[in-house]
């Protein structure tokens, strides 16, 4: 390793530029991963961060909450499936509401998503950071990121419509937006009142989903399959499946996966070409080292050490930039959401890909013939 470090010290600018380029690429990758995580949370956080392990959709809704509704007989049938310990309705809709972003300002129109659930039961948010959960009608937990839009503790929100309920925000929860819009969790009765305010002719307010708590002796996958088999016209999903398979999330995911795949390929090519050029330029010195007895394995170890050193510096720089930007954007409309596990997998993948990119250079080192030192000085390497 001494040889690798000496060479890096002699060519500081060359290796620093490569490490900087790798750092920017790593930053691009981790920033996009964080942005993707933030977008997903903003799209489906209300489902990810509520306490129902299983959500049952109308089969024809194709896993779309907005297009789902269930009939009373389906709700009763779901509750009667063996293995269901508890169930309850969840209503969801987007409403025009009146809010006051500033206490001295006039009320303004805002679109807000309202989730209604049975208080004390399934469907309540699990990431409460301030205040409390609703304990009665016309109370709500709001998404914390929208507090400055008129959804802060103590603010009141009016559903626009005929005798629309006046809802007081009594709690704030992190990562509970739906479709990147302000989101309120209220009692199902309050949700029903909001529905009737915008549609006075509605005789019955149907739930969008049925939340299910499995019994301790049954697994989530087993119970979802059992519900699908025994109740006609429904599709049961775990909480994680309902979030990940949301149609909006899938479209965003495919786009980001293509961009990230291209970024990983670019990192591999940059590392591969740099060390290939470097190895070619060092053909004569490497041949002489082999001629005086340096083992091929020793030279390969030094090459690998240089690759890992450059990648390590680039990774530290890239992740550091992402952390700084995360702090800067934390109060933004869509904050970054980068999990430590994702960072660890990314770092491991980049290290493996960098070594794959250096395979051609390693092969050239292994093919060095020491006898060339006495003939052409390694020019034929």
Is the separation of the CB atoms in 89 and 75 below 8 Å? yes
* Residue 378 clears pLDDT 50, i.e. is over it: no
Cα–Cα distance for residue pair 70/78, rounded to 1 Å: 10
Cα–Cα distance for residue pair 1/203, rounded to 1 Å: 78
Question: Which pLDDT score, from 0 to 100, does residue 380 have?
Answer: 46
pLDDT, average across residues 250-275 = 89
Lowest mean pLDDT, pick from 236-240, 336-340, 367-371? 367-371
Q: pLDDT tier at 38 (50, 70, 90 boundaries)?
A: confident
- Give the chain's end-to-end CA distance (angstroms, integer): 23
3-state DSSP assignment of residue 48: helix
What are the sequence ranges of the domains in the chain?
Answer: 2-44+248-374, 50-237
Q: pLDDT tier at 178 (50, 70, 90 boundaries)?
A: very high
* Residue 377 clears pLDDT 50, i.e. is over it: no
Percent of the chain clearing pLDDT 70 (strictly above): 95
* Residue 183 clears pLDDT 50, i.e. is over it: yes
Lowest mean pLDDT, pick from 62-71, 96-105, 290-299, 345-354? 290-299
User: Tell me: the pLDDT tens digits for 87-140?
Assistant: 999 999 999 999 988 777 788 999 999 999 999 999 999 999 999 999 999 999
Cα–Cα distance for residue pair 190/188, rounded to 1 Å: 5
Question: Which pLDDT score, from 0 to 100, does residue 231 have?
Answer: 95
Lowest mean pLDDT, pick from 40-54, 60-74, 111-125, 331-345? 331-345
| Count of Cβ atoms closer than 10 Å to residue 378 Cβ | 21
Question: Which pLDDT score, from 0 to 100, does residue 366 have?
Answer: 79
Mean pLDDT of the chain: 89
* Residue 334 clears pLDDT 80, i.e. is over it: no
Question: Which pLDDT score, from 0 to 100, does residue 23 have?
Answer: 94
Question: Which pLDDT score, from 0 to 100, does residue 35 have?
Answer: 87
Higher per-residue confidence, 279 vs 310: 310
Instruction: Kindly list the distances between the CA atom of residue 202 and the CA atoms of 21, 92, 112, 189, 250, in Å, as whole numbers in the listed order.
Output: 61, 15, 21, 14, 33
Cα–Cα distance for residue pair 176/114, rounded to 1 Å: 11
């Amino acid at each position: 390793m001494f040889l690798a470090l000496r060479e890096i010290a002699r060519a500081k600018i060359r290796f620093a530029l490569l490490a900087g380029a790798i750092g920017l690429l790593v930053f691009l990758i981790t920033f996009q991963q964080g942005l993707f995580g933030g977008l997903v949370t903003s799209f489906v956080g209300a489902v990810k961060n509520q306490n129902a392990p299983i959500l049952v959709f109308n089969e024809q809704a194709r896993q779309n909450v907005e297009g789902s509704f269930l009939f009373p007989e389906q709700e009763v049938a779901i509750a009667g499936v063996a293995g269901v310990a508890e169930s309850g309705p969840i209503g969801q809709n987007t409403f025009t509401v009146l809010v006051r972003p500033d206490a001295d300002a006039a009320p303004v129109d805002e679109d807000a998503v309202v989730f209604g659930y049975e208080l004390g039961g399934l469907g309540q948010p699990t990431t409460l950071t301030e205040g409390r959960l609703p304990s009665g009608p016309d109370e709500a937990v709001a998404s914390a990121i929208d507090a400055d839009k008129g959804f802060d503790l103590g603010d009141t929100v009016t559903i626009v419509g005929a005798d629309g309920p006046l809802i007081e925000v009594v709690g704030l929860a992190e990562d509970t937006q739906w479709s990147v819009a302000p989101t309120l969790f209220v009692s199902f009765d309050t949700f029903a009142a909001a529905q009737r305010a915008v549609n006075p002719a509605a005789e019955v307010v149907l739930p969008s989903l049925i939340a299910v708590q499995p019994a301790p002796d049954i697994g989530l996958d087993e119970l979802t399959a059992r519900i699908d088999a025994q109740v006609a016209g429904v599709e049961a999903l775990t909480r994680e499946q309902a979030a990940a398979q949301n149609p909006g999330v899938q479209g965003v995911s495919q786009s980001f996966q293509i961009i990230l795949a291209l970024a990983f390929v670019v990192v591999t090519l940059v590392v591969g070409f740099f060390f290939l050029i470097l190895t070619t330029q060092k053909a004569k010195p490497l041949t002489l080292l082999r001629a005086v007895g340096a083992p091929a394995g020793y030279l390969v170890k030094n090459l690998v050490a240089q690759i890992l050193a450059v990648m390590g510096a680039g990774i530290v720089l890239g992740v550091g930039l992402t952390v700084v930007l995360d702090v800067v954007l934390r109060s933004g409309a869509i904050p970054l959401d980068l999990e430590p596990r994702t960072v660890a997998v990314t770092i491991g993948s980049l290290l493996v890909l960098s070594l794959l990119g250096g395979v051609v250079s390693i092969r050239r080192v292994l093919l060095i013939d020491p006898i060339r030192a006495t003939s052409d000085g390694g020019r034929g390497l």
